[in-house]
Structure 1
Amino acid sequence: MTNDEHVVLVDGEGNPIGTAPKAEVHGTDTPLHLAFSSYVFDREGRLLLSQRAGHKLTWPAQWTNSCCGHPLPDEALPTAVIRRLRYELGLAVESVDLLLPRFAYRAVMDNGTVENELCPVYRVIVSEEAVPNPEEVDAVRWMPWKQFADMVLSGEMDISPWAREQVPQLVALGPDPLTWPVGDPAELPAAVR
């Protein structure tokens, strides 16, 4: 990825209000911007977890869902999901499905750095092993969905703040992640509809 990658800034209603360099967005007063989270599953319903690279600005070395990122200006969210999974984990995607079109969160690190995102959540199916890019990911592991969800809900697993908020909403979709209902694209933020 280039150092001049831009993110899409949005208002509280999800309307685009400009762009900003990704490298300059995250700080103690992070503006609301577009992002996505993805949960990668294999055909057995196992979830791919990733550990964020230790040198990342936000939540370094933190275990989290499979892959997160930001769409480029004028980039469709599914395209951004596919692009980032290829870059971060070397994965070819079989399918990308919208799950939580309205998910948003704000989280503050101990050092005051803020994440502030409209962050739709996607399910991705793959049939190959991940090859982590060390610029983005320190480690990966596969885990049965129920085991992962139970550990997050019980507080037993230390996970990123966004995943901690997403998991209960995903659990509410049903016990089998491969049969979760697809979300309505009309509910996505206006900036990516």
Structure 2
Amino acid sequence: MLVDDDGRALGTAPKTLVHGRETPLHLAFSSYVFDQEGRVLLTKRADHKITWPGVWTNSCCGHPLPEEPLDRAVVRRLSYELGLTAESVDLMLPTFAYRAVMANGIVEHELCPVYRVMVDSPVAPNPDEVGETCWMPWKEFAEGAQNGLLAISPWCREQVPLLTELGCDPLTWQPAAFSDLPPAARL
């Protein structure tokens, strides 16, 4: 779903046409999966991905289908990419947006609300999407990401400081209101 700078829908375009050198702003999501111990699930993007192949990042990112609510898109992609069943899906950063350019000129340009997901099931990565997974204590991950000690995706690097502002324990973060989502994401 293509969106304007105010988060209003402009129409749709195939995913293959919106990830290049002239990537238009489009709706996406990021999710951070946690277990009951407060560890975050990190994923290494598959080596054949168009954007940031082989790079460590947050648990799961993706795009909603036309007319698909974002929280359902999160559940769908977690199942497909990681074989996970979500116990809860909470909106944390409703208006996060970023633009990042790879060394080869490919651009990511997304309005990308961020979700916290709780799970209590084993990870079964889909090799078409994920190269590796790693559970890490949130505090250790957040410190490493913010101090530049961990090589992570550009969107993840921007999201972590915003998430740490919500508190030191990710299990106690207060979710944002659905009404805080950009208009195109309020299905």
Match of 1:80 in 2: 73
Does residue 100 (structure 1) correspond to residue 93 (structure 2)? The answer is yes
Aligned residue runs from structure 1 range 162-173, under 5 A: 162-173=155-166
The equivalent position to 2:106 in structure 1, one of 110, 113, 117, is: 113
Aligned residue runs from structure 1 range 118-157, under 5 A: 118-157=111-150
- Which letter does structure 2 place at the counterpart of 1:34? L
Distance in structure 1 (CA, Å) of the matches to 2:17 and 2:81:
21
- Which letter does structure 1 place at the counterpart of 2:11? G
Does the residue aligned with 1:48 lie in a helix, a strand or coil? strand
Does the residue aligned with 1:146 lie in a helix, a strand or coil? helix
Q: 1:23-57, CA deviations, whole angstroms, 9 ceiling, x for partnerless residues?
A: 12100000000000000000000000000000000
Aligned residue runs from structure 1 range 164-183, under 5 A: 164-183=157-176
Q: How far apart are 1:129 and its partner, in Å?
A: 1.4
Query: TM-score scaled to structure 1, two decimals?
Result: 0.96
Q: How far apart are 1:146 and its partner, in Å?
A: 0.1
The equivalent position to 2:47 in structure 1, one of 41, 54, 59, is: 54
Q: How far apart are 1:169 and its partner, in Å?
A: 0.3
Distance in structure 1 (CA, Å) of the matches to 2:157 and 2:10:
29
Q: How far apart are 1:98 and its partner, in Å?
A: 0.2
Structure 1 stretches of 4+ moved >4 Å: none
Does the residue aligned with 2:79 lie in a helix, a strand or coil? helix
Q: How far apart are 1:162 and its partner, in Å?
A: 0.2
Q: CA RMSD in A?
A: 0.5
| Uncovered stretches (5+) of structure 2, i.e. residues with no partner | none
Match of 2:82 in 1: 89
Query: TM-score scaled to structure 2, two decimals?
Result: 0.99
Q: How far apart are 1:189 and its partner, in Å?
A: 1.2
| Uncovered stretches (5+) of structure 1, i.e. residues with no partner | 1-7
Match of 1:27 in 2: 20
Q: Percent identity?
A: 65
Does the residue aligned with 1:162 lie in a helix, a strand or coil? helix
The equivalent position to 2:6 in structure 1, one of 6, 13, 17, is: 13
Does the residue aligned with 1:123 lie in a helix, a strand or coil? strand
Aligned length: 186
Does residue 191 (structure 1) correspond to residue 164 (structure 2)? The answer is no
Distance in structure 1 (CA, Å) of the matches to 2:122 and 2:138:
17
